[in-house]
Amino acid sequence: MPAREYAVDGDEGFIGLNSRDNPVNLGKNFVSKAQNIRMDRGVASVRKGAERLTTGALVGQPIYGTCTYTTATGTELIILVVSDGLYSYNPDTGALSAKVNFPAGQTIVATDEVELYQAQGIGYVYILRGFSKSVLRWDGSLTIVAPGPGSHTNYPNSRHAIYYGNRHIVQTDSNTISVSHYLRDNAWSNLDVFTINDGSSDTLVAIAPWTLNEFVIFMRNSIFYAAAGVGANAAGDQAQESDSYIKSLASDVGCIAKGSIVQAGGGIIFLSDNGVYILNPAGAGNGAGNTPEGMRLLTIAEPLSAPISDVIARINFNAVGKAVATYFENRYYLAVPLDGSEYNNAILVYNFINKAWESVDTYPVNASIENGQVASNGSAFYLSGPAINLQITIGTIVAIPHGLTVGDKVNIRFTTSYTTPTGIGDKKYPDGTYTVASVFSPDIFYINIPYTDDLEFLDYGGFRWGCLMEVAKAQDMTFMDFVVAKKGNRRRMFMVNDKQGLFLLDELDYDEFGQASGTPVLPFYIPATLSPLEFTPINIDAELVTRAYSFQTNREKRFSSVQIDAALPAGGAVDISLDTTNPDTSTKLISYGSDTDEDFTLRIPARKSGYYCQLKFNSKNLRPSVRSVTVEAVVPGQMTQTTK
């Protein structure tokens, strides 16, 4: 009797993400979606989570800038600048210093363009505050000073600078840079001022170190490279015209976010209007060698980000100037604002070992960052839209300040029903996350609730009283900046959130965000001594979707079974689904969990027909891993063979 012959397709491992192309056209070992995933040695695993390090003194103080500071003994500190001073955080001890105050009358506000950097040869940290404010200098101890005699005299106001080749290279306006004398921050010359692309509509975005004492100047729509003072290396030396130059490198591509510029993989990576590009020196033997003339945009025809161009298209280009990046353990991390966000709410990860994009990382959204308070509504009435304007009063007997401003998000759970007309029955407003529409007083604010038919009865009489609820301020976990510093003699990657402080990345099996435990207080306060359980653990929302398995034919086929080689940590769980195309279906095959660490092979019946199929993995708890996938199918009309 003829035996049915099964066709087999699948992947023996996973190395990269290509979300742009049709899933059926992807090469082996590539996936069509990877959210919060890392691919090491062919194994796709849920990324590690963020541990919150914030201590009490920082809570409630907006953070405007950060950098690392290396002490004379080699200890690396993380510097965090607030409105009127700075703190230093020691990653090894977890200690946060007392605040070092700015000089009298010197402050930072939200509209200032703040940047920090340490001049290694001089030892100071410079705090830039934009073109309209002077640069402050910290001595690494207890003193912050403004420019003046005995300090950084004549240091120009700036929004961006680097310390390179023992000189300060400082942006002084939209297309001009100034270069200090060698090993000096108080000696500047009018001859050491460079104007780039004068008369054009281009603007200077950033300056980045390069090779052979040259540096790269990124404009909005073009790129230059320059050198200043090559050979003038005695303390106090001025750059000479004979050893300084500026040359054009590219006129058809520029940089749109200074924070996206990172030296990695032997070159410079940056974000442009068309995506992520890499700037590398050409290799030896091409006639140019590793010289400025040997520089090339290796991806000039196609950006490095081409395989995820659909994700690049989701960037909010009105807020993209806030994008930041870092290079850590052979990966380029680029934090960007996606889908209309005003803040960096996602991280694009490129793996230099796999030479492929790896993941689009997301982090908790609308998490309650303050403990809930009992509240009541004073009145509810219709607005145009239609919508319901609900007054929220914090405190049922004694008024409590809510600490909210217009635009803040709040999580609300309605614990009792409000008064209803006779015969209407018991009803509640819908629980959810709401935006503060207006603030009436320190203890009263308003939200707008979308109109539904269930709320139609409110139309009679106009006002209702007496609904009780729990209210907690909510916030998304967003990225202001990355910092890489030593912790335990090993370099680690940290993230700074401008409102919730410092986080250690790649550390936990969940993201630590959300509200602190303890007695609810608004505005809330977190003790300086923390345990990992002080913050709400939030499960990492990871998803992996394979390429479309076609079995090298576009004929309809019947998928008979799938085999999955995977691993779970103790307490881990994963949902596995099969998605088919033509007909389009999505079927959950199994929800699988384990009480112990477990390596396993699942063989699951599929029993679905279609032209193509994809497997989808959704992490439900902790950090599952997937090693390989095999799909078996019967292709109608395929030849059969006998068992003889």
**What is the 8-class DSSP label of residue 56?**
G
Strand runs (DSSP E) across 22-160, as ranges? Answer: 30-35, 37-40, 43-46, 49-52, 65-70, 76-82, 85-90, 95-96, 100-101, 115-118, 125-128, 136-138, 144-145
Q: Is the pLDDT of residue 553 over 50?
A: yes
Cα torsion angle, 512, 515, 517, 522, sign: positive
Number of Cβ within a 10 Å radius of residue 199: 7
| Averaged confidence pLDDT in the chain | 86
What distance lies between CA 298 and its chain's CA centroid? 26
Check pLDDT > 80 for residue 534: no
Residue 419 CB neighbours (<10 A): 13
CA distance 211 to 207: 13
The model's pLDDT over 39-87, given as tens digits with 9 standing for 90+, comes to: 999 999 999 999 998 766 777 789 999 999 999 888 999 999 999 999 9
Per-position DSSP letters for 466-523, written without gaps between them: --EEEEEEEE----SEEEEEEETTEEEEEEEETTTEEEEEEEESSEEEEEESSS--SS
CB atoms within 10 A of CB 6: 14
Across residues 21-35, what is the average pLDDT?
Answer: 96
> What is the mean predicted confidence (pLDDT) over 520-528?
30
Residue 298 pLDDT > 60? no
Give the per-residue pLDDT at 489: 87
Of 264, 457, 280, the closest CA to residue 352 belongs to 264
Mind listing the pLDDT tens digit for each residue in 217-233? 999 999 998 888 777 77
Residue with tokens 């004694």: 398
Query: 59: which 2 tokens?
Result: 């809570």
**pLDDT tens figures, 153-190:** 999 999 999 999 899 999 999 999 999 999 999 999 88
Query: pLDDT tens digits, residue range 414-461?
Result: 887 665 555 555 667 788 999 999 999 999 999 988 877 666 555 444
* Cα–Cα distance, 72 to 77 (Å, whole number): 11
What's the start-to-end Cα distance of the chain, in Å?
9
Beta bridge partners of 174: none
Query: The tokens of 139 are what?
Result: 């001595």
Instruction: Provide the pLDDT for residue 521.
Output: 31
Q: What pLDDT band is residue 518 in, cutting at 50, 70 and 90?
A: very low
The per-residue pLDDT for range 119-141, each reduced to its tens digit, is 976 689 999 999 999 999 999 99
Structure tokens at 91: 């990653």
Gyration radius of the chain over CA positions: 29
The count of other CB atoms within 10 Å of the CB of residue 115 is: 25
Checking DSSP bridges between strand 16-17 and strand 30-35, what pairing results, if any? parallel
Half-sphere exposure of 378 (CA within 13 A, CB side): 14
pTM here is 0.90
Q: How confident is the model at residue 568 (pLDDT cuts 50, 70, 90)?
A: very high
Q: Is 138 within 8 Å of 144 (Cβ atoms)? A: yes
Is residue 281 predicted with pLDDT exceeding 60? yes
DSSP state, 583? T
Cβ distance 550 to 24 under 8 Å?
yes
Place of tokens 């003072």: 229
Give the residue extent of every domain in the chain.
2-37+542-642, 258-362, 367-475
Q: What is the pLDDT of residue 378?
A: 72
Residue 252's pLDDT band (boundaries 50, 70, 90)? confident
Which CATH number does the domain 2-37+542-642 belong to among 3.30.300, 2.60.120, 1.25.40, 3.40.1350?
A: 2.60.120
DSSP 8-state symbol, 309: H
User: Looking at residue 450, what is its pLDDT?
Assistant: 81
pLDDT tens-digit series, residues 12-27: 999 999 999 999 999 9
Q: Return the DSSP state at 225.
A: E
Closest by Cα among 556, 561, 584 to 8: 561
Does the pLDDT at position 639 exceed 70?
Answer: no
- CA-angle at 67, arms to 305 and 256, nearest 5°: 30
CATH class of 367-475: mainly beta
Q: Which two tokens stand for residue 519?
A: 């007695």
**Six token digits for residue 195:** 């104007």
Which amino acid does the sequence have at 500? Q
Distance between CA atoms of 194 and 204, rounded to whole angstroms?
Answer: 12
What integer pLDDT is reported at residue 383 of this predicted model? 59
Chain centre distance of CA 200: 33
Residue 314 has pLDDT above 90, yes or no: yes
What's residue 347's pLDDT? 98
Residue range 285-309: mean pLDDT, rounded: 62
CA dihedral 85, 91, 96, 99 (to 10 degrees): -20
Q: Which tops the pLDDT comparison, 389 or 174?
A: 174
Closest of 426, 425, 458, 431 to residue 447, by C-alpha: 431
